[in-house]
Structure 1
Amino acid sequence: MAPRVLEIVGDFVEDYEAMVPYQTFIACGVQVDVVCPGKVSGDFVMTAVHDFDGFQTYSEKPGHRFTITANFDEVDVTKYDGLYLPGGRAPEYLRLNPKVLTIVKHFFTTQKPVAAICHGLQILAALDVVKGKQCTAYPACGPELVLGGAKYTEAGTKDFPINDAIIDGNLVSAAAWPAHPKFCRLFLTKLGMTFTW
C-alpha cells in the first residue's frame, strides 16, 4: 500500500515549499492530505514566494492559491505514515495552535518520518523534539533550534550548501527550496520507497 503523508500549511506558506514537494510525493505514488487549522477540504491558503534578490533578507512576493484537501478537525494521525512541514510565514503562527503541536508531537513519539524545511522547523522548536538532533533550517531559525537543544547546521556555507539536506533518525530537514531534490528523496526513502536511478 502507498504511504500516506500529512502536510500542514497556513496562509503565506512558502509557495515552492508547499507545492513542489506535494507534487513530487504524489508523482512518486504517495497519498498526501493537505490540512490547515480553521479550513476544510476545498478551501485554500494563499502562498508567498520567497526569493533572494540581493537584499539582506529574502523578499516576499504574492504566490498562488493552494488547495486544502482534508479537514483539519478530522485528522486522525494514526492513519499517516509521515508528516511534512513546509516553511514561509505560516509556521510562525501554526506553532501557536495546540492541535498542530499535538499532531506534530505524535510523529516524534511514534518515530514516524517527519520532513521540515525552512521556517517549518519553528514548529519543531516550539516542542521538545529537536534536542540532540542534527538538523538545518533557514538561518534566521537557527537560534531557536540551538535553544531547543538541536545540533544545528547553518546552510549556505562552504561546508554545507543551501541545496543540501540532513537526515537524523526520523527527521529530514533542509534550509530552503533549493534543497528540494535531495530533501524529497531523503524523505521518500524514510517512507520506505526505493529508487533505482
Structure 2
Amino acid sequence: MQRPFEALGEYFGISIPRKKLKLNDPLLLEKPSFCEEKDWSEVVSRAKPLKEKNFLWFFTPKKPFWDLKKDWPPKRIDLKVWLTSEYIEGGFSKTYKSLVYELREGRFSVKKTLNLRGMFVEEAKIAFEEFLREAIINGDNCVLIIHGRGLSSKKEPVLKTKVKEWLERGPFRKYVMAFCSARPCDGGLGATYVLLSSKPIKKSKKS
C-alpha cells in the first residue's frame, strides 16, 4: 500500500507507524518542537537586509511589448515638391504663377503623356517636338513629360535640364502657358506638367 505522507511526517519529526492511527492518538495531537508560534511583528522586527546582493534583478516594463499599440497604417507624409532643390517651374503667360499653383495641385487633368527615359538627347528632342505639335493641334491643354531625375548622371540631370530648356527656348515656347514639376503620384521630380495654349502667347516679363 502506498503511503505518500510518510516522508512528510518524517520531515516534521513525526514517526508515523505503519499501523492506522486514530483521531485521538497523541502522536497526531503533538506539535513538532521547532514549529513554535511567534508574533509576526516580532519576526519582522528581527529581519535584517541582505548585505551581499548576489542576485540579479531589473525593473519590468510597464506594459509587455506585445500589448503596445503600434501606429498602423503609418501617418501620411505630405512631400512638398516645390520646396526641394530639384523643383522646376516657369511660363510665359501673364498669370503663369497662378497657373503653376493650379498645375502642382493637380487641378488640370493630364490628356497625354510622353516618356523620354532611356533616350539619347537627339532622339528625345525629336520626340518632344512631335509630341507638343500633336498636343497643340488636338487641343490637349495639359500634358505630362516624364524625363527622370537623372540620378545616374555624373553632374546635372541631362534630359530634365534639356526639357526645361526646350520649354523655354524651343520652337513651341509661345504655346507654353506654364510648366512645373509633377506631383509624386505622377512621377514627382522626374516628370513635368506642361500647360499648353492653342494660340501663340505673347512673351511678357515675369513679375
TM-score category, normalised to shorter length: under 0.3
Q: Which has more strand, going by share of residues? A: 1
Larger CA Rg, structure 1 vs 2: 2
Does 1 or 2 have the higher relative contact order (CA < 8 Å, sep 6+)?
2
Relative to the length of structure 1, the TM-score reads 0.22
